[in-house]
Amino acid sequence: MNHYRWNLLPPVPAEYTAIAPDLPPLISQLLYNRGITEPSQIDLFLNSDKRLSADPYLLPDIHPAISRIYQALLSAENIAIYGDFDVDGITGTTLLIQGLGALGANVTPYIPHRLKEGHGLNDSALDKLQQQGISLVITVDCGVTGVSQVKRAKKKGLDIIITDHHTPLDELPPAIAIIDPKRDDSSYPFSELSGVGVAFKLLQALYRSMCKEEQLDNFLDLVALGTVADMMPMLGENRYLVKRGLESFKESPRLGIKEMAEITRLDTGSIRTEDISWILAPRLNAAGRLENAMVSYRLLTTNNPQEAQELAFFLEEKNTERQKLTSIALTKAREQVLSKGITPLLIVSDFNYQGGILGLIAGKLSSEYYRPVIAIRIGDRFSSGSCRSIPEFDIIRAISKFSNLFTHFGGHSQAAGFTLPTENLAFLEQQLSQLAASELSGIDLRPRLDIDTEVTLDELNDDTFETIQLMAPFGRGNPLPTFLSRFVNVADCCVMGNNGDHLRLKLKHCNKTWDAVAFGLGNRMPDMKSSIDIIYNLELNKWGGDENLRLNILDLAAVNQA
């Protein structure tokens, strides 16, 4: 009945608890499970303070980048910030526009249209910017793989500074500077910054050189938004940047964020990483998926209350439209998967798939079937694809083996995208399918669910939830603590959601009753028994002005009654 491979992590050894005897036992277990073993690591992890912020001058090419920006400031040159169209790129664009603008720069935003221009640097866009009098382009969250585009721009006299966090190719673009912590020659101690995180470090170096570093706090909300939305690991420097960013939502939220919060009933005084992932980020992404991401940029920068309200409502409508389109496309994609059979690599394609939701299709299928997935929008001359993968298969390494087939490609080990001539599509599918079949042979392709500790429900209370918050902020690399409870009695169970996709339960154990939800497990209703084992997170449910603790069930298994 269980969808996951359950992996109960070993109990913390006695010698570990002796390292920090004053810590609550649960926190010691959680830290141990996350590989935090040294006393100095424990202190840094739990405090997540400025000690985690590394020297920006350790980033590659930071000095030539600062020198070129100084020159542009002194000469009153026109600068363009060229950002990607996801939340990471939008927030990074906003950060550099406002950060350089505060220094008196003549600066213009440019975010390409997802459907018309695609990912990365675009020759025609760079030409248009140069014709508008732009002499320096600074990229955000893109550019490190744009070798041909930068070569062409350089020949035409356009200077480019690249800030990116994607994996570079063997050949780097001939830019003025390439600031990317993933460069082989980088001495920066933390390689997992987001795109907006890298842009922030560039601004930090510039502001430090001008003795204005104290003004950087104004931009940390943007760093938190982009870092969480891009699913960067909540470890190292990201913990400090996100923690401070979440605090800034409470202290002085942007007008646009306040309007989004009003519509979604979100309290800006207590925004968590989960709120960014499930509420704010999907709405900020919605415009770029279906129309133009500049709408979200305007929402983050406006100081006009009426405009903020109108833009927030527009994004809400676009997010609803995006949900409907995704649901329709997923139904078609699942039919394709089942008709072809469940193979190590799942590839779905259609002429009518919307380019803006390809990543959502691939991500959902990858989660459901635990396979690497490629969703492709087929065009007459060119086709575009979005890839989502599993830890056992590095998708960017895989598609890099066939780089000669693409006009554009890039990404991470778990998420990537590409554009290629349609005539190359069949060969690419064949080669990637063979590669995945070889690399994934013999592997149990079910997701592993790590369980932090086993408890009984009567051991959990408000104090448990408060203790867990010592580990925040949560995200990839530091997930919400996961518990296992056995022989839980099901007092009540019903489906919920428009399509019955979810379960709502009342669970009893040792005379204590808990509310619980099981998102995406509505199909398990026919298999429910009176007693179950459950894996879950403990969460604070806020609704209608009330707050109560409930269990968010991740997986469950029926217990056979003797």
Look at residue 148 and tell me if it is in a domain.
yes
Has residue 77 got a pLDDT over 90?
A: yes
- Which of 390, 410, 439 represents a domain boundary (last residue)? 439
Q: How many CA within 13 A on the CB side of residue 471?
A: 27
Residues 409 and 306 in one domain: no
44 falls within a domain: no
Tokens, residue 336 = 């394709």
User: What pLDDT shows up at residue 542?
Assistant: 72
pLDDT in tens, 397-430: 999 999 999 988 888 888 899 999 999 999 999 9
Residue 375 in tokens = 């969703």
Mean pLDDT within 125-140: 97
CATH number for the domain spanning 552: value is 2.40.50.460
Q: Which of 287, 315, 334 is the last residue of a domain?
A: 334
- Contact criterion met (CB below 8 Å) for 267 and 542: yes
> How wide is the angle at C-alpha 521 spanned by C-alphas 520 and 523, nearest 5°?
115
Residue 235: which of 55, 474, 482, 481 has the closest Cα? 474
The continuous run of DSSP H or E covering 88 comes out as helix 87-101
* Confidence (pLDDT) at 544: 58
3-state SS, 265-283, equals CCCHHHCCHHHHHHHHHHH
Per-residue confidence (pLDDT) for residue 140, from 0 to 100 = 97
Query: What is the pLDDT at residue 1?
Result: 47
| 83 lies in the same domain as 217 | yes
Tell me: do 61 and 28 sit in the same domain: no
Q: What share of the chain in percent tops pLDDT 70?
A: 99
Predicted local distance difference test score (pLDDT) of residue 485: 94
- Note the pLDDT tens digit of each residue in 200-259: 999 999 999 999 999 999 999 999 999 999 999 999 999 999 999 999 998 889 999 999
Q: Do residues 159 and 215 both lie within one domain?
A: yes
Question: For residue 70, is pLDDT > 90?
Answer: yes
Token pair belonging to 259: 């309007």
Of the three residues 334, 367, 384, the one that is the final residue of a domain is: 334
Q: How far apart are CA 384 and CA 400, in angstroms?
A: 15
Per-residue buried b or exposed e for 275-303, using 16+ beta carbons within 10 Å of the residue's own CB: bbeebbbbbbbbbbbbbbbbbbbbbbbbe
The number of angstroms, rounded, from the C-alpha of 363 to the middle of its chain's C-alpha atoms is 12
Label the pairing between strands 346-350 and 5-8: unpaired
Whether residue 134 is found in the same domain as residue 189: yes
pLDDT at site 304: 97
- pLDDT tens across 99-113, in order? 999 999 999 999 998
**Residue 205 placed within a domain:** yes
Is residue 230 within 8 Å of 207, Cβ to Cβ?
no
User: Is 481's pLDDT higher than 60?
Assistant: yes
pLDDT winner (highest mean) among 34-48, 298-312, 406-420, 463-477 = 298-312
Nearest by Cα to 242 from 261, 257, 220, 214:
220
Number of domains in the chain: 4
Q: What is the mean pLDDT of residues 41-67?
A: 96
Q: Are 506 and 514 in contact (CB under 8 A)?
A: yes
Closest CA to 92 of 159, 142, 157: 142
CA–CA gap between residue 138 and residue 143 (Å, rounded): 9
What CATH number corresponds to the domain at position 395?
3.10.310.30
Label residue 524 by pLDDT band (50, 70, 90): confident
Same domain for 76 and 10: no
Q: 414 phi and psi, to 5 degrees?
A: -110, -5
For residues 361 and 433, membership in a common domain is answered with: yes
pLDDT of residue 311: 96
Instruction: Give me the pLDDT at residue 288, please.
Output: 85
Q: Where are the beta strands (DSSP E) in 183-322?
A: none
Enclosing domain of residue 367: 342-439
